[in-house]
Amino acid sequence: MTDEIDRLRREIAERESELADLRSQLAVAESERREADGDAQTAYRDWKWPLREDEYERYSRQMIVPNFGLQGQLRLREAKVLLVGAGGLGCPAAAYLAGAGVGVLGLVDGDAVEVSNLHRQVAHATSRVGMPKVESAITYLKELNPTITYRAHPTHLTPQNAASIISQYDLVLDCTDHPTSRYLISDACVLLRKPLVSASAFQASGQLLRLNHPVARGPCYRCVFPRPPPPESVVGCGEGGVVGPVVGAVGVLQALDAIKLITQGGLEEAAADAPQQQASMLIFSAMADTMFRTVRLRGRREDCFACSAREDALTLEQMQSSLDYVQFCGVAAPVRLLRPAERVPAAEYARIAADRAASPHLLIDVREKEHFGLSSIPGSVNVPISRFMRPRGAAAEDEDEAPPDWIPADLPHSAPIYVVCRVGNDSQVAAQKLKELGLDRNGERFVGDIDGGLRAWRNDVDPTLPFI
């Protein structure tokens, strides 16, 4: 039954894509026919206006806005814009750029649509789950505006392919969600002399900044963030969560800034004697009383590795051949703090938990309370990992010190303590911290974790457990 459902979903997605492509061809053919043959709405065979008749109808509401006008629309029609990422930011940004009439819209993304994407990635649909994101997004965009050109790049951006892809466009929007991508995209834009609109969103906040603008004069991402954040502080949407309208709002602002750049002639390089513009970053805090605020940024750094004039500055060849963005950002390897004997398989713990009377123990779930409230292993106690990290006055083995308040008073001194988290990383950190606090009683008590966390529990023990 599952295979049949998957087959039907794939077939529906393929048909939707084919239908969107046919509608796009029809719209173009109808436009060409009106131009070639003339119709009742066209008084003259030779059209004498700079836009097609259908373009006047489609874009009229924005062209009558002060300081936008026909010139702004013509600039949009000539612009080639690349979006790196077809997710929460990329979907709304792409929709508004396509709707505005950008001439060529390219999308880069190597991922496929997942069900968990759909609450915020509005260009995708349930019927297109499993489809490459760029194909799904273009299917949606063709329904919105079939008259512009779309280019699909169904791959992840890498140091090796970044130059060949980005060089085809006039403006780049960074819609990714990891520091490694942000540094790579910024470096490539500096080397290829492309302005960049960069944005990010997480939980209930986001930020937006314009980089390398004016071209070769504005700061790059390295100027603003010379050092990447500590790898342990980088938490994705899968772990930390995100509110759908937050990424929607930031993605729309990203598209708006791109449209502003294009229509106001911001893609051209500024003259050397043009006044320097003040760089700034827009901060969006959805749950705050003041939702928007602007932070002033310093300009281009004279010692910047990517965009300065120093002799050892970054080159395109160096970026493609020897620059390791993963190493630069210190992406953490899988956590390996516990010995194999201290890591209990999920199925083995299920046998232990089946008879708590014979095997009294404590199971601590170290996820945040929001995660714990959605699903948990029966009998577990929620103690977020942050509580373990608070300094204590003395070691727990001190007989005069009371045990932590989350340890049941009737738990035997030698009863094992098991720790569980989402996938088995934080649980190792927490178990190690419990030992440092002396709760293993110098080896008398077992302190370990469930190997693989709740993911393993769902896979090996209880497939009905919601895995968030």
Query: What distance in Å separates the CA atoms of residue 362 and residue 414, rounded to the nearest whole number?
Result: 11
Binding residues: 88, 109, 116-120, 133, 177-178, 220, 223, 304, 307
Binding residues for Zn(2+): 220, 223, 304, 307
Given the residues 91, 175, 189, 421, select the one marked as catalytic: 421
Q: Residues, the chain, total?
A: 468
- Nearest 5°: the CA angle 235, 236, 240 is 75
DSSP three-state, residue 98: helix
Q: Which amino acid is at 423?
A: V
Query: What distance in Å separates the CA atoms of residue 314 and residue 253, rounded to the nearest whole number?
Result: 30
Side-chain half-sphere CA neighbours of 192 within 13 A: 25
Catalytic: 237?
yes
Query: What distance in Å separates the CA atoms of residue 243 and residue 320, rounded to the nearest whole number?
Result: 36
- Asked if 416 and 447 touch (Cβ cutoff 8 Å), the reply is yes
Query: What distance in Å separates the CA atoms of residue 250 and residue 256, rounded to the nearest whole number?
Result: 10
- Asked if 454 and 422 touch (Cβ cutoff 8 Å), the reply is yes
Of 371, 363, 354, 350, the closest CA to residue 406 belongs to 363
Query: What distance in Å separates the CA atoms of residue 206 and residue 203, rounded to the nearest whole number?
Result: 8
Catalytic: 91?
no
- What are the C-alpha distances in Å from 67 to residues 71, 123, 214, 263? 9, 30, 20, 9
Strand partners, 112: 132
Contacts made by residues 223-230, CB under 8 angstroms, sequence distance 24+:
223/298, 223/299, 223/300, 223/301, 223/304, 223/307, 224/279, 224/281, 224/297, 226/301, 226/304, 228/179, 228/183, 228/328, 228/329, 228/330, 229/179, 230/330
Binding residues for ATP: 88, 109, 116-120, 133, 177-178
- Asked if 307 and 213 touch (Cβ cutoff 8 Å), the reply is no
Task: Catalogue the active-site residues.
Answer: 237, 421
